[in-house]
Amino acid sequence: MYLGVFETEEACRAWKEEYGLEFPVIADGDGTLFRAFTNGWVPWSVLVGPDGKVVFSENEFDESGFSNAIQQMYEEPSAGKPIRRRGGSRAAGTVILGGGTGGLVAAHDLRRRLPNSHRIVLVDRSRDHVYQPSLLWQIVGQRHQHQFRRPLNRLERKGIEFRNDQVEEIDLESKRVRTGSGSLNYDSLVVSLGAQLVPETVDGFEQMAYNLYDPPGCAQIHSALEDFSGGTIGILITAMPYKCPAAPYEAAFLTEWFIRKKGIRRKVELHLFTPEQMPMPVAPPALGDSIADMLSARGIHYHPLFTFKELRPETREVVSSDSRSDQVDLLIGIPPHQAPEVVRSSPLLGVSGYIHVDPKTLRTQHDGVFAIGDVTTIKLPNGKALPKAGVFAHSQAKVVAEQIADAVLGRKSDASFKGKGYCWIELGDGRAGFAGGDFYAEPDPELKLRQPGRTLHWGKVAFEKWWLHHWF
Amino acid sequence: MKVVEGLSKGIEPGSTVSVAELGLPVKGTNGLLLVFWKSP
């Protein structure tokens, strides 16, 4: 049932007819139910079970996640069902899925804490780890792919097995992962598969947009900027949530700096389209306002609450759900994200479309299974989701590694993720800002933006160098 | 889109709701999905 918040019966009827909806659409004219059920955001979805118990209550929407939750609601409870255990006497050890930030840190931290008799296997479909923050420098020609890629098989010399393989199934009951080339049993499983980019779900994306979130796309953006002589550049966030909330804004600042340096600034209009109501909306409004002010000071046109509907490659238009269209000559796109297919087809999938975990321990509801980083959803005290960013995957990986090691060594664990996070914000001109703080603070995250400067930019560069040297 | 400022977390999973008392046009229920929406 849809409830139109502060809407009239007529508006609800018109909306039901316009979209041919077969379910009831009624008006919550004075917002009574809205106030009782939500934290003030739309859309908001609440699933109530046959027994009157609330199954989920979410701002985010993911069709597969919802379908999965509804299906589970009607299934027989699995509690009490015997769990099949794998045969064999050898300890299965820890399997880590994903060689991004979280997987890399978890594998190293665990290896440091446990003797080599504890087997650690990391599985990734890619042969290389890609340090993603460097992508932003790639778009302005300050990095090439080979400078921020490292082969994951180098982990082998540190006592971490690496399988370059696709994860095809997570069998939670048998505690086994099936990959393209075989199976891996586990005692502990760390799911760190990240968020998958799905540009193919947007018609025309490939013809019209360059993907800001992958190395080939960033190489194309750089070439296009090199060739650009004037016109309109758009940066488009197609859907929420997306990883690294600052990245599109950093892309805007760096692009503006690049075209200014190139001497064509007066011939270029730069636009940033986003469904967010302000930059980094999880942060206190003052922080978002600062970033919006920086966009304005650089003449970058900012379009918040732009709910993307479609691309029209033939006319090079970006169209919003309220039928507003903007023509662009060069489009930098942030494609929709979703949990990887292997997660979407497993009971790990939560209603948000990602894996729901305990905010402190990162445990899932399944024995021995942890999930970290972008593949998870963690609801903050203010009801919003913890942003998807490498800094959180990094510290969550350490917390999980400590818990697994404590369990193996027979110790009680008090490792806990505290919700602390930070990020640099590249501004071009060799300058950067820095924002960070406590995302678990109540009632809202407590974050601060430090005065931008050159030192902060070099701090970001130094961290990149440290990362690529330290783990490889 | 934030429609009302100052609300807390929203209803928590695990809470119990009396569907009959919500005043919604539903008769008996095998479960209910409520989606709050507002036109832009």
For A48-64, what is each residue's pLDDT tens digit? 888 888 888 888 777 76
Best CA proximity match to A159, nearest among A115, A205, A225: A115
Q: What is the pLDDT of residues A127-173, one digit of tens each?
A: 999 999 999 999 999 999 999 999 999 999 999 999 999 999 999 99
Tokens of A191: 């799911």
Under an 8 A CB cutoff, do A56 and B25 touch? no
Per-residue pLDDT of chain A in tens (472 residues, 90 and over written 9): 889 999 998 888 888 888 778 788 999 998 989 998 998 888 888 888 888 888 888 887 777 677 777 777 776 544 334 334 344 445 689 999 999 999 999 999 999 999 999 999 999 999 999 999 999 999 999 999 999 999 999 999 999 999 999 999 999 999 999 999 999 999 999 999 999 999 999 999 999 999 999 999 999 999 999 999 999 999 999 999 999 999 999 999 999 999 999 999 999 999 999 999 999 999 889 999 999 999 999 999 999 999 999 999 999 999 999 889 999 999 999 999 999 999 999 999 999 999 999 999 999 999 999 999 999 999 999 888 999 999 999 999 999 999 999 999 999 999 999 999 999 999 999 999 999 999 999 988 999 888 899 999 999 999 999 999 999 9
Ramachandran assignment for A91, one of left (phi > 0), alpha (psi -120 to 50 degrees), beta (any other): beta
What residues in B contact A36, CB-CB < 8 Å? 11
Residue A272 amino acid letter: L
* A15, A45, A54: residue with CB nearest B12: A54
| Sheet strands side by side (includes A325-327) | A308-312, A317-320, A325-327
**DSSP structural state of residue B6:** S
Q: Radius of gyration over alpha carbons of chain A, in Å?
A: 23
What residues in A contact B16, CB-CB < 8 Å? 51-54
Give percent above pLDDT 90 in chain B. Answer: 0
Nearest-by-CA chain B residue for A35: B7
Q: Which pLDDT score is estimated for A397?
A: 98
Q: Which pLDDT score is estimated for A64?
A: 67
Q: With H, G, I as helix, E, B as strand and everything else as coil, classify residue B36.
A: strand
On the question of pLDDT at B25 being above 70, the answer is yes
Mutation test of the interface with chain B: which of A6, A28, A39, choosing the one with the most B Cβ atoms within 10 A? A39
Tokens of A123: 């599985």
Under an 8 A CB cutoff, do A39 and B10 touch? yes
Ramachandran assignment for A350, one of left (phi > 0), alpha (psi -120 to 50 degrees), beta (any other): beta
Q: Does A278 touch chain B (CB under 8 A)?
A: no
Beta bridge partners of B35: A2, A45
Q: Does B21 touch chain A (CB under 8 A)?
A: no
Under an 8 A CB cutoff, do A52 and B16 touch? yes
Q: Which pLDDT score is estimated for A157?
A: 94
- Tell me the whole-structure pTM to 2 decimals: 0.82
Mutation test of the interface with chain A: which of B22, B24, B30, B35, choosing the one with the most A Cβ atoms within 10 A? B35
The answer to whether A450 touches A435, Cβ cutoff 8 Å, is yes
Q: Does A174 touch chain B (CB under 8 A)?
A: no
Residue with tokens 């429609």: B3
Under an 8 A CB cutoff, do B10 and A38 touch? yes
Beta bridge partners of A371: A191
Q: Which pLDDT score is estimated for A84?
A: 40
Residue A409 amino acid letter: L
Q: Does B31 touch chain A (CB under 8 A)?
A: yes
d(CA A57, CA B34): 9
**A:B CB pairs within 8 Å:** 142
Kindly give, in sequence order, each residue whose CB lies less than 8 Å from that of residue A22, ignoring residues fewer than 6 positions away. none
Residue A366 amino acid letter: H
